[in-house]
Structure 1
């Protein structure tokens, strides 16, 4: 992955020239003639604010110029970001379950096991459906082939663009956060693939919808199994 100008996305060989420690000169883009990446001299908080504001140039800086294959070991970063994504999704599921259920001492051990099992299925099965659908939709809408080296980069971009899940938030606004994650995924996909906004929206929305549908169906089946077992125990 080559460096990119954060303004227009044009490939660039180097972002700056260093004359001495602490003395650098930012390079200009040959295409738009602007400074290729002004975030190099900015505080991290400024980058974070621009990411929250969904500015494409902030995503170009992060995905192309920070997470560059020449400077970052992307294989390890891919697995770390995927694991972090799953852990944060488990935390989200825990918040939802704690808001729906009474987590007091009166809960039976069997119901506790069922709840933990449902959380694990939500996280692993739901995200398996999410990423599988996402890659298929990318192939359909963005006309890329499955199994190529860019698949890992795309999954990495989606995982990192879900950074908002690390925030502390009450369960009442969790679905607003989900919408924000969806919009972040769309911007990251558009920046990384340089495709049209409508195609990126279709790909991301399809993946999130399939994940929601799959987890809801799974939860209904688990709840039905629990209710049937409970009725049988009571009747016996």
Structure 2
């Protein structure tokens, strides 16, 4: 399938030239002289943001399941306690993941004894997000009742998958 200009639909050989990772030059259409596809730069960042959102959403659901299994979540809760529980979940998810990534990047820096570039951080973040696909099994807990130990088994699968992804 041949790429085409988004402005006039004229066939184009290539949409961009990559000089180095993260350094690209967008090509112009020979027919209308406009940039052939100005949104090509946004595709990676859009998928990264969607992956981060799905990752955090599944992590929040995991925290909610743990709170429900601990008995902190019930049908007779007041509105203020529901709001307080959701605040706890949001703080738990964001602070927990921030600490995880900071400790991970710091330990990589200390073990490898090098500085980590921003482009490398994006690659590491994407590897962790994609390798956390086992979190999708949390959706099954919406349909079937599972003991809370299943959540920890899923966490072990996610951690082992992250390890394999970062090893390569």
The alignment's TM-score, normalised by the length of structure 1, stands at 0.48
Matched pairs, number = 125
Match of 1:190 in 2: 167
**Is contact 2:55-2:129 (8 Å) kept?**
yes
Change over 3 Å in CA distance of 1:75–1:173 after alignment to 2: same
Match of 1:131 in 2: 101
**Which runs of 5 or more structure 1 residues have no equivalent in the other structure?**
1-67, 192-236
The alignment's TM-score, normalised by the length of structure 2, stands at 0.65
Higher helix share: 1
Change over 3 Å in CA distance of 1:105–1:176 after alignment to 2: closer
CA RMSD of aligned residues (A): 2.5
Q: Equivalences for 1:45-194 in 2 at 5 Å?
A: 73-101=43-71, 103-167=73-137, 168-169=140-141, 170=146, 171-191=148-168
Q: Deviations over 1:93-147 (max 9, x none)?
A: 1111111125443212232222111101111111111111111112112344234
Question: Partner of 2:118: helix, strand, or coil?
Answer: coil
**Is contact 2:68-2:74 (8 Å) kept?**
no
Question: Partner of 1:141: helix, strand, or coil?
Answer: helix
1:103 and 1:128 map into 2 onto residues whose CA distance is 25
1:183 and 1:143 map into 2 onto residues whose CA distance is 24
